[in-house]
Structure 1
Amino acid sequence: MDYKLKKEYWSHSGNRIAVRFEYEYKNRDGKSFRAYGNENWEFDAHGLMKKRFASINDLEIKEEDRYL
């Protein structure tokens, strides 16, 4: 619930892209969380995503600490 996502371009080379991301959400109990990390995407010759690697950190935050 109340999901908001932000992705920032980091770099690219050939058929690969790296992005930084963070998102905020509430669980069913109404607790707020922020997840953040890095993603690396690799695409095939047709432009379809072939591989995705992500490093994700997830932590509970106070409602007043949400900023997305």
Structure 2
Amino acid sequence: SSLSSGLNNPDMLKDCSSLNKLLIELNTHAKLVLTNLNTLRKQKELCDVLLIIGQSKIPAHRAVLSGE
């Protein structure tokens, strides 16, 4: 992908404009992933964990819970 090739290209990282574009792309990608995971959670699709707190049951994605 253009993202991984950008991270491995020292000439691209020296250029502030290119670095800014890369950071924006990373931020946009992260937001898109979280938005899509939240949509799946709301639809109770691909949830592999059920959090039980008192009487509340919350379906969740293990990958999201373990993320740093």
Say whether the fold is shared (TM-score over 0.5). no
Scaled by the length of structure 1, the TM-score of the pair is 0.22
Identify the structure with bigger relative contact order (alpha carbons < 8 Å, sequence gap 6+): 1
Between Structure 1 and Structure 2, the one with more strand by share is 1
Q: Which protein is bigger by CA-based radius of gyration?
A: 2
Scaled by the length of structure 2, the TM-score of the pair is 0.22
